[in-house]
A and B are shown apart, each in its own frame.
Chain A
Amino acid sequence: MKKNSRIILLFLIPFLIVIFLFGIFIYATVSNYSEDYLFRLLEARANKVAKERFAGETNFSKEEPSDKLPHEKDFFIPINDKLDIISESKKVGVDELFFKDVIKKGQARFVTNEYLYKGIKYKSKKSDFIVITVAENYFEINQAENLIKTMLFAITAAFLLLLYIAVYYSKNIFKPISAITEKVKEISSENLHLRLSEDTAKDELYELTSTFNDMLDRIETSFETQNNFISNASHELRTPLTAIIGEADVVLAKPRQTEEYVEALKIILQEAEKLDNKTKALLFLAQTGFNGKVQKFEKVRIDQLIWDVKENLDTLNSKNKIHLDMELLPENPLKLKVNGNIQLLHLAFSNIISNACKYSDNHVTVSIGASDDYVYIIIKDKGIGIPENEIKYIYDPFFRASNTKNYEGYGIGLPLTRNIIRMHNGKILVTSIENQGTTVQITLPSIKTLS
């Protein structure tokens, strides 16, 4: 509310100052002009009455009354030695300076609130005269009040109008910001997938929302990575432990031969070594910043990465038939280098490729190519596909298409992958036809080499 009234004031004060200056200016101009006009009339009148009087044109004077200005009075004062300026000026009601001006310059003006005085020097045949015409200060008496009223009314009306506009603006200008605030309040660690809706207009607010969304992308990715990581890690750790416990249980069930003990201990040792290796690897990962806090970006060769992913997936499931299509691999391997985080990209690609394997009886083609600016990775399967009307939801966490009931999964792989690709300024494009297959096209910007 405080901000609102501040904005209203900010709007109104300059406006009021401007409009008042404006009003004063108009008043001054109008009054000036109308005075000038009246004086010119007076001068003409003075000349006329003087001519009339001293030329003795009597006919002329009979038609006169209609020509008279409102409240017109004429004075004729001869200029000779007997002229007493002080008493004359009192009689006419003007300043002494007025007479001096008339004598010196031939004409003078004098303004009071009610009357306008115009004096000219007239040379008749006998002697010189000062002719003074006095008329009502028409503008001051009849129009000034009206003008001021009109202007005050206009200013008030404009003020009210502007007040309305200012209130409207002050409410609406913060509407998007309060909308953003509302939406941000909704977002917590449980629903990190929510995003602010981005306006198409490329203004500051757009930048704000997109920056915020980018930040959410990063946060969500690190959250998901950790979740994914923890579940994978615990699974990895549990397998050898189960083996050890099982083996020990079996051996302890009854007394055994020495060879059998040796055999069992060997197995236990093997599994324990595995466990040790995995713990070491975990420690190593933690140290190298896989915890989502520090993400190291380095040069990554995409083909190498894909080979690693393939190898990794092959060891997990020997039924996989991942075909790496190197037909369009560029001759210059430098074009395959992207700036990225190996672990994250590895995770992203293994997600996509293992998805492709899962839903398509393990026949997957991965093609790699590079243009001058981008590296393209295309993963194609001929599996169950995604129903057309569900394809827009595939990036929602925990969403699983209706035809995936018979397959295991949690529905977090694709959103996570998208976030990782986004973090690398890349694009991911999923096209699919149900029961015909899915194609995923991933575009990553390559490192510009200066060669």
Chain B
Amino acid sequence: MRKTILIPTDFTVNSLNTLKTVLTNNSSDTSLDIILLHGLTLNDSIRELLFFSKMKQIDSLTNNEFEEAYEVLCNKFDSQINSFKIDLFTGYNQTAFNSYLKANKVETIFIANRKQKLSNRKSFDLSPFIRKSNVEVITLNTNTETLQQEKGKITEVFLNQVSIS
């Protein structure tokens, strides 16, 4: 069985805990197509639109710790993951979001009840779109307290526990 799921991300190691929970609770006979989605407003200037490259943009948003952390997760759940991609959503309205979901055949969206940390000033929170979308949305309870000392380090993904509600 295959299933496409979508998880909003803000490119922090902590945000990967949602993914970790999803994968931990996934039954082993379902293989997942995972999309990590980040909302980003496109610039209006024609020059920037002309030279806009999604890959470069994602590269500039991610950091080494994040990449390493999701590689760790991918290695752990190798057999459950069918495909894995990080994507940017650059639309402005609900219709655009709905068609994005449709085009990517997203069946379930997992969202953490914790507030996203949007470091880039062009990023925006996807949760209003997600709540109004017409696919299944599952909210995960993350324990909000993160120890200050491990902030941003790959350790976060190892130690933090998230429960499914």
Tell me whether B147 and A378 are in contact (CB under 8 A). Answer: no
Tell me whether B158 and A432 are in contact (CB under 8 A). Answer: no
B122-164 CB mask vs A (1 if < 8 Å, else 0) is: 0000000000000000000000000111100111011100000
* Bound CA–CA A372/B71 (angstroms): 6
Task: Judge whether B72 is part of the interface by a CB distance below 8 angstroms.
Answer: yes
Task: Judge whether A367 is part of the interface by a CB distance below 8 angstroms.
Answer: yes
The secondary-structure label for the interface of chain A is strand
**Shortest CB–CB separation between residue B149 and chain A, in angstroms?**
4
Tell me whether B155 and A328 are in contact (CB under 8 A). Answer: no
Task: Judge whether B24 is part of the interface by a CB distance below 8 angstroms.
Answer: yes
Task: Judge whether B73 is part of the interface by a CB distance below 8 angstroms.
Answer: yes
CB within 8 A of A331: which of B69, B75, B147, B159?
Answer: B75
> Which residues of chain A from 355 to 394 have a CB within 8 Å of any chain B CB?
365, 367, 369-374, 376, 378, 380
Tell me whether A328 and B73 are in contact (CB under 8 A). Answer: yes
Tell me whether A330 and B149 are in contact (CB under 8 A). Answer: no
Beyond A325-B158, A439-B155, whether A369 also contacts B150 by CB under 8 A is: no
* Bound CA–CA A372/B72 (angstroms): 7
**Shortest CB–CB separation between residue A451 and chain B, in angstroms?**
13
Tell me whether B154 and A372 are in contact (CB under 8 A). Answer: no
Tell me whether A436 and B147 are in contact (CB under 8 A). Answer: yes
Inter-chain contacts of A330 with B (CB < 8 A): 72, 75-76, 78
A234-261 CB mask vs B (1 if < 8 Å, else 0) is: 0000000000000000000000000000
> Which residues of chain B from 94 to 147 have a CB within 8 Å of any chain A CB?
147
CB within 8 A of A372: which of B69, B75, B77, B150?
Answer: B75
Tell me whether B150 and A431 are in contact (CB under 8 A). Answer: yes
* Bound CA–CA A433/B159 (angstroms): 16
**Shortest CB–CB separation between residue A335 and chain B, in angstroms?**
5
Beyond A325-B158, A376-B158, A433-B147, whether A369 also contacts B75 by CB under 8 A is: yes
Inter-chain contacts of A332 with B (CB < 8 A): 75, 78
Between A and B, how many residue pairs show CB distances below 8 Å?
73
* Bound CA–CA A380/B158 (angstroms): 10
Tell me whether B76 and A329 are in contact (CB under 8 A). Answer: yes
* Bound CA–CA A367/B153 (angstroms): 14
> Which residues of chain A from 327 to 356 have a CB within 8 Å of any chain B CB?
327-332, 335
Inter-chain contacts of A31 with B (CB < 8 A): none
Tell me whether B153 and A331 are in contact (CB under 8 A). Answer: no
Beyond A369-B72, A372-B71, A374-B68, whether A441 also contacts B157 by CB under 8 A is: no
CB within 8 A of B159: which of A335, A367, A372, A373?
Answer: A367
Task: Judge whether A429 is part of the interface by a CB distance below 8 angstroms.
Answer: yes
Tell me whether B149 and A439 are in contact (CB under 8 A). Answer: yes
Inter-chain contacts of B79 with A (CB < 8 A): 331
Inter-chain contacts of A429 with B (CB < 8 A): 153
* Bound CA–CA A436/B77 (angstroms): 31
CB within 8 A of B76: which of A328, A365, A431?
Answer: A328
* Bound CA–CA A433/B151 (angstroms): 12
Tell me whether B78 and A331 are in contact (CB under 8 A). Answer: yes
**Shortest CB–CB separation between residue B31 and chain A, in angstroms?**
13
Inter-chain contacts of A328 with B (CB < 8 A): 20, 72-73, 76, 157-158
**Shortest CB–CB separation between residue A328 and chain B, in angstroms?**
5
* Bound CA–CA A370/B69 (angstroms): 9
Of residues A332, A371, A380, A441, which shows the largest number of chain B Cβ atoms within 10 Å of its Cβ? A371
B75-88 CB mask vs A (1 if < 8 Å, else 0) is: 11111000000000
What residue in chain A is nearest B69 (Cβ atoms)?
A: A371
Of residues B20, B24, B71, B72, which shows the largest number of chain A Cβ atoms within 10 Å of its Cβ? B72
Inter-chain contacts of B24 with A (CB < 8 A): 327
**Shortest CB–CB separation between residue A431 and chain B, in angstroms?**
4
Beyond A331-B77, A331-B79, A433-B148, whether A378 also contacts B72 by CB under 8 A is: no
* Bound CA–CA A371/B157 (angstroms): 12
What residue in chain A is nearest B149 (Cβ atoms)?
A: A431
Inter-chain contacts of B78 with A (CB < 8 A): 330-332
Inter-chain contacts of B67 with A (CB < 8 A): 371
CB within 8 A of A441: which of B73, B147, B154?
Answer: B154
Tell me whether A371 and B77 are in contact (CB under 8 A). Answer: no
Inter-chain contacts of A436 with B (CB < 8 A): 147, 149
**Shortest CB–CB separation between residue B59 and chain A, in angstroms?**
17
Please name 6 pairs of A and B residues whose Cβ atoms are closer than 8 Å in the assembled complex, sorted by A: A327-B76, A331-B75, A370-B75, A371-B67, A431-B153, A439-B149
